[in-house]
Amino acid sequence: MITLYDYELSGNCYKLRLLMGMLGVEWKTVPVDFYPGREHKSDWFLKINPLGQLPVIDDDGLILRDAQAILVYLASKYDASGTWYPRDNPALLGEISQWLAFADGITGTASAARLHDALFYDFDVEAARAGAHRLFRILDEHLWFGEQEGRNWICSAAQPTIADIACFPYIMLSEEGGIPRQDYPAIRRWCDRLKRIKGFAVMSGVFPAGPAKAA
């Protein structure tokens, strides 16, 4: 069984819980007191991940760090449908990879602003918010044009991929860092679609989808 070293309020940890839930994968959790305990910098945890970062998984002795890398691993190993990370489609894998990198940008901006406001990290919060808005504008426009072509997800596949999972949490949590989403209607619609996927789970600050609108 997979062991997830987890902090409940971490968007990067949530990504993994979200995908594992959608895949029907069982896991157990080892809570790590990120704040205020800074347990991710403790001696015992640094033996698991010398970078002192969450999340980390242990899958029968295979230890992996980095949320995006773990998403790739989980989808490759546990997705029987082969749709979350379609290894037989090089073009789509390239798309997914570029959006996984984009998700890292969201973490470096929207998540940084949230850490500043909620956990008192000493970041340049105005720069973080401005950076997040720039990325949100890019994604909102991309999703809007996709909708005009009949596409519901970030990549060109008919089904969601791990790119959607990677980008979702810190967008949903952005208002906790003073980054409102009202100017990004395509992002809001995409978030609602993702919330309706079977197996979707909530976390603090992320709520279920509202009632479906009548056609």
What interhelical angle do 162-172 and 90-106 show, nearest 10? 10
Per DSSP, 198 falls in state T
- Which residue ranges in the chain fall short of pLDDT 70? 213-215
Model confidence pLDDT, tens digit, residues 19-58: 999 999 999 999 999 989 899 999 999 999 999 999 999 9
Cβ atoms of 206 and 14 within 8 Å: the answer is: yes
pTM above 0.75, yes or no: yes
Rounded distance, CA 35 to CA 159, Å? Answer: 36
Q: For the chain, which residues make up each domain, given as ranges?
A: 2-78, 90-195
| 2-78 is classed CATH 3.40.30.10 | yes
Q: 3-class DSSP state for residue 100?
A: helix
Task: Note the pLDDT of residue 213.
Answer: 66
CATH of 90-195, one of 3.40.50.1000, 3.90.650.10, 3.40.50.970, 1.20.1050.10: 1.20.1050.10
Rounded distance, CA 153 to CA 163, Å? Answer: 9
